[in-house]
A and B are shown apart, each in its own frame.
Chain A
Amino acid sequence: MSQLEGTVFIVDDDPLVLGAVETLIKSVGFEVNTFSSAQAFLESDLPDEPACLVLDIRMPGLSGLDLQDELAARGLTLPVIFVTGHGTVPLSVRAMKAGAVDFLQKPFEDQDLLDAVQRAIEEDGQARVERRETGEIKRRVESLTQRETQVLHGVAEGKLNKQIAHDLGLSENTVKTHRAHIMQKMQADSLADLIRLTGKAGIPSQKE
């Protein structure tokens, strides 16, 4: 069985169901960690690889929805899949609005769950990559000098070198030099690339 990248966390207070879902997910090669309460899950450490959370709603103590809120409050962007015996429309709407990947009713079709898990893992993987990237970009931006940052802002806003030089009280040549440094530090291939990067870093691209 090929190991797929990613860990699936399952939280359900019913050990029978917990065991069954675990087995099912394992059967497609995912790594599984089980918890019988939301509290137990919160106290554990998250791995540094793509992961997702399969969650029952009605549990003693912290409910599934409470856990979802708690994760959001902690800023953890773990994708969540709800699997529940109590499926009502308002409940499912709420869960989805809060960002759940999927909301399944018991008894569910195995494929439905597995697909959702797949999606969730991919999503989480994606998100991780994105985060890393953004982190890297930000780091690059922070490595710029103050002048360079100012120039960068100007470039992001689409200003000409001449304009930037005027705004900052520099010679055009200086600006050009700065731009070259910026390109280097930001590891951008082209202007368009730079703009893209600055966008990711959260630097406004147009005067707003």
Chain B
Amino acid sequence: MTKGKTPDFPAKHPIARGILFSLLALGLFHPTLSASQDTKRKEVLVLFSFRPTLPVAYQWDRGIRSVLESDPSHVFVINIEYLHLDRFNDDDYVRWLIQGLRQKYSGSEPDLIIPVFDVAVDLILRYGEELFPGVPIVLGGVENHVVENRSIGSNVTGVLTDTNYTGTLDLVLRLHPNTSRVVAVAGADPMGRSYAKAAREALRAYEDRIEIDYLIGLPMGEILERTANLPARTVVLYLNVLKDGAGKAFVGIEALSQIASVSSAPVYSLWDATLGHGIVGGYLSCFEKQAEAVAETALRILNGEKPGDISTFKAHSCQYMFDGRQLKRWSIPDDRLPPGSIVQFTEPNFWEQHRGPILIALAAFLLQTLVIAYLMYQHRKRLSAEEALSHSESKYRTVADYTYDWEYWEDSEGRLKYISPSCERISGYSAEDFVEDPSLFRQIIVPEDREIWEHHRCDSGRGSRSESIEFRIQRKDGEIRWVEHLCQAVHEEQEGLLGVRGSNRDVTGRKQAELDARMRREEITHVSRTLTLGEIAASLGHEINQPLTATLSYAQAAKRFLAAEAPDLDEVGNAVDGIVAGSRRAQEVVGRIRMLMTKQAPERSRIDVKHLVGEAVEMTRRTARDQAVSIRLDLPRDLPHVFGDRVQLEQVILNLLLNGFEAIRAAEKGHGELIVRASKDETDYVTVSVEDSGIGIDGDNQEPMFDAFFTTKPEGMGMGLSISRSIIEDHGGRLWAARNPVQGATFSFTVPIHEEDLP
């Protein structure tokens, strides 16, 4: 069929064009309008035996609609008439019904009629021709016997219900092998009776195996009583109760529920609509599927096939279906079920029922648990970190508190944050004292040393330490102690200066030792410098004196003893022993003198004589000033270095200088002059001479001067020259004296330039 021709557009009238266009659009899109050309509109009249609220009604409605409405080539108007023949079935009602139908559909005769279930089918078969002559009929939901012995017109076909009694009974026997009895329950209504009849026929073959009781048309009360008190090994087969023996009308499902709840035996049935209302299950036929089959047949007819050409057939709608709750109730294990069984209503599986919320709840719970676990972990970590921190803090505090040194920590603003208890041990002031009075530390520093403290800095660069400084403090009890101070600025990557860490240590012991050592060194140096002078002479003099006195006394005692009339020779012997002992002691002393003079190991090195002379002269500066003696130096610049022991040679020069002073003083002129000369002669020796303007020496009497103990001085011991000469001779040189032409004397000595010339 071709689409309608597009009418010519009157080009000139825009409005007309617009209107026509709109109409066209409407026409194109309006289904009905379009349909009137292309798609067929069919009216289908469904005659449902019972009231619309039965579950089976929905099933039939759904089944039919789903098929018909999915057909693209038709537009179906489906009218369903609920005949309520379960409740009302008297003749008057029927007549009224027919009348009503006739009137209702007089104007619009259906294109097809679908009667469902026995009573409607019966009605149509009787009054169909009268009402709707020639209209094709597709019946559904009836047993074979309903149409079997009837002459149905050539406009009738149908889909028989496939209610399968044997299938269910076989199933029952499979699941309950010990079954000895089956009780079939049906109502007094036509449908119930119809089912019962069909059942009887179908199950005849089983009667030799098991007993089959038919409770048909009994009042509900009795049904309930009977089913409640069933003997063992019985199974109930529910057929349908729409009206009981007492005439009470039931919704089939309702009746089933009642029976199933009181039944002492498992209840089975034959239709899927019953599943969930108390039956265990069965080989259940599905009305919806039957409806679909019916509708498909209707489609075929509406598409042109003749009903007579389609023979009635049985639907294929049965399936093994079970109620999981009932399976559980009757303890029927899943593995006994036939393969491909459908199990519905599996028990409150709280889980299955509320799977969504449960999953969500679970997920939420899980998440929460995770969060809690994480928080707890964090908390634990923090606690353990805090604990570790406090532990390490207390550990370090212990270390700090127990530290022998006085340590402190200042924050970046210079406030004292921590001070170790040792501060009290070292300074006498407690930690509280320092915290209370921030200036206390500076106060206890001895005033002269405060500058050292002021000038030091703790912030000398990152990571580097400040130099340690030393100063004295006055303890609380007044005692002065030396303190060594060290501090370090502490910087943090992001935070900059964190503070200053400092420590103070009492180093009085060390300082004292240092001072002592220095003093001793100076003393030694001084002593070794003045070794040739009166001091050593005096002390050694005393040392020599002792053995001398002893020797003399012993000798003189011996003489007296011997002079007696009867000499006590024991005493004499004793005295002589004493003489020997004394002499030995004197020997020791001399040995020590030598040792003191020469030191353990004479250190030989290259010496600048000018330096030596300069130092020696420097040392006698005061003496020179006191005695008004001027000292002149005559030292050539190119004087070569000599080789020898610096200290010893300096001693010699000193000795000569001092002797010069003595000579000048002895001259009693009130002033004098010393001239020190040095020169190199043709041999490889340097000559140093000290000329004085003193009293001079006896020209003939020079040599005795150099003997030990020779002295012209009343107090002197005369060691100096003797030692000096020893020293010079040890250096391979000579020491001699000469009388000056005019005044005074000149003492000279030579020292080699080359190391090889040293002995």
Contact = CB atoms under 8 A, between A and B. Distances in A.
A21 B553 CA distance: 6
Contacts of B553: 17, 20-21, 23-24, 107-108, 110, 113
Contact of A17 (B549, B571, B575): B549
B557 A26 contact: yes
Interface in B515-572: 541-542, 545-554, 556-558, 560-561, 564, 568, 571
Interface string A85-116: 11000000000000000000011101001000
B561 A27 contact: yes
A1 B568 contact: yes
A85 to B, nearest CB: 4
B549 A27 contact: no
Interface residues of B, number: 26
B560 A27 contact: yes
The residue among A16, A21, A28, A83 with the most chain B CB atoms within 10 A of its own CB is: A16
The residue among A28, A107, A110, A113 with the most chain B CB atoms within 10 A of its own CB is: A107
B546 A17 contact: yes
A49 interface: no
- The secondary-structure label for the interface of chain B is helix
The residue among A24, A26, A108 with the most chain B CB atoms within 10 A of its own CB is: A24
B578 interface: yes
Interface in A1-52: 1, 14, 16-17, 19-21, 23-24, 26-28
Given A19-B550, A23-B571, A85-B541, 9 more contacts: A14-B550, A16-B547, A16-B582, A23-B553, A23-B554, A26-B557, A85-B545, A107-B553, A110-B557
B546 A16 contact: yes
A17 B582 CA distance: 8
Interface in A55-96: 58, 83, 85-86
Interface string B572-603: 00110010011001000000000000000000
A113 B556 CA distance: 11
Interface string B285-306: 0000000000000000000000
Contacts of B546: 14, 16-17, 85, 106
8 contacts: A14-B546, A20-B553, A27-B575, A58-B542, A106-B549, A107-B549, A107-B551, A107-B553
A113 to B, nearest CB: 8
Contacts of B575: 23, 27
Contact of B548 (A19, A83, A107): A107
Nearest to A111: B556
Nearest to A86: B542
A19 B585 CA distance: 14
A27 B555 CA distance: 11
Contacts of A58: 542
Contacts, number: 77
A110 B571 CA distance: 16
| A-B pairs, 6 with minimum CB distance | A110-B556, A20-B553, A20-B550, A106-B549, A27-B560, A85-B545
Nearest to A17: B550
Interface of B: 541-542, 545-554, 556-558, 560-561, 564, 568, 571, 574-575, 578, 581-582, 585
B557 A20 contact: yes
A14 B585 CA distance: 12
Nearest to B541: A85
The residue among B556, B558, B585 with the most chain A CB atoms within 10 A of its own CB is: B556
The residue among B545, B564, B581 with the most chain A CB atoms within 10 A of its own CB is: B545
A118 B574 CA distance: 23
Given A23-B554, A23-B574, A85-B542, A108 B549 contact: yes
A4 to B, nearest CB: 13
B568 to A, nearest CB: 7
B553 to A, nearest CB: 4
B319 to A, nearest CB: 132
A26 B581 CA distance: 19
B399 to A, nearest CB: 49
B564 A1 contact: yes
A24 B556 contact: yes
Contacts of A14: 546, 550
A24 to B, nearest CB: 4
Nearest to B577: A19
Nearest to A28: B560
Contacts of A21: 553
A106 B578 CA distance: 16
A87 B581 CA distance: 24
A107 B552 contact: yes
B38 to A, nearest CB: 150
A17 B560 CA distance: 18
Nearest to A104: B549
B549 A23 contact: no
A107 B545 contact: yes
B338 to A, nearest CB: 129
Contacts of A86: 542
Contacts of A27: 556-558, 560-561, 571, 575
B564 A16 contact: no
Contacts of A16: 546-547, 550, 578, 581-582, 585
A108 B552 CA distance: 8
A126 B546 CA distance: 33
Contacts of A28: 560
Given A1-B564, A26-B571, A27-B560, A20 B554 contact: yes
A85 B552 CA distance: 14
A108 B585 CA distance: 18
Contacts of B571: 23, 26-27
Contacts of B582: 16, 20
A20 B578 contact: yes
Contacts of B581: 16
A21 B585 CA distance: 16
Nearest to B579: A20
A97 B316 CA distance: 162
A128 B258 CA distance: 158
Contacts of A107: 545, 548-549, 551-553
A162 B596 CA distance: 86
B568 A19 contact: no
A13 B585 CA distance: 15
B393 to A, nearest CB: 58
A200 B556 CA distance: 43
The residue among A16, A27, A107 with the most chain B CB atoms within 10 A of its own CB is: A27
A106 B548 CA distance: 8
